[in-house]
A = this chain, B = another copy of it.
């Protein structure tokens, strides 16, 4: 339903570049996690899926806007197996495609019926602001060798978490849930969002390439400040510590490309350190803790099918990581 709604969003022909690139982005697929969580949250409090469809499409448009602009900032060449917008078109088009998608997201959201539109728009705007703040922190952390774990959680809370908790929160509001149901679903989204990001960090290290859809160890090679790296910076000693701290400074030191052999050696060395200090097990434990909290948040909800699916979703996050 969401995909169909997304496909129908852009009908105009002119301006050709802008519309073509928008359709390209919105038709790239993806798991539609946010819209699914939004719609299930609406149903879990007794609403109907169709009430939440516009908001579901809107959150996917918003999410995809962040991807287009993030890809510019990260200079990413591809996403979901296709060239990114700034590569396939150019920077200016990618910039405008992102901008116009924000307008499109609001316009779609506004088709949501009912008398809670102020609250809905307010949540959505807070999400937009937060996601930009999260991305800004992420970029700032790249240049800082001394990022802490609390800072990491603050950043992912905004950059990844907010869009997920906004999804469940919005769904509960649209489905006309009670205050305690809305709060429960907001918290569910918050824990799921955290687990989601931790899992992403972990999969960079433990996934098989086929599973993951992108090459393994990318975060390590980039010196990305993942939960694993920051925890290793706290725990590692001696020579291991030197390797990890070198990685924390990587962004400032290495502008030059790394050979395939160096790359493989670095990934193996860092993975070995992660294993030595229990980093991988601790990350798994964090994911478990957050998915357990997410599942526990659902206790106040009626035991309907949608609630069961949200329960299942939190458990599914544990797949492939243990």
Residue ranges of A at the interface with B (Cβ–Cβ < 8 Å):
14-18, 69, 72-73, 91-93, 95-96, 98-100, 102-104, 106-107, 110, 117-118, 121-122, 124-129, 132-133, 135-137, 139-140
A104 to B16, CA, bound (A): 29
Q: Which residue of B has the minimal Cβ distance to A21?
A: B136
Point out the residues of chain B lying under 8 angstroms from A104, CB to CB: 125, 129
A226 CB, min distance to chain B CBs, angstroms = 19
Q: With A18-B136, A121-B121 in contact, do A98 and B100 touch (Cβ < 8 Å)?
A: no
Point out the residues of chain B lying under 8 angstroms from A100, CB to CB: 128-129, 132-133, 136
5 CB < 8 A contacts A-B: A17-B140, A73-B92, A96-B139, A103-B125, A104-B129
Point out the residues of chain B lying under 8 angstroms from A106, CB to CB: 106, 121, 124-125, 128
> CB distance B122 to A103 under 8 Å?
no
A90 CB, min distance to chain B CBs, angstroms = 9
Point out the residues of chain B lying under 8 angstroms from A102, CB to CB: 99, 102, 128
> CB distance A128 to B140 under 8 Å?
no
A8 CB, min distance to chain B CBs, angstroms = 16
Cross-chain contact of A98 among B73, B92, B99, B140 (Cβ < 8 A):
B99
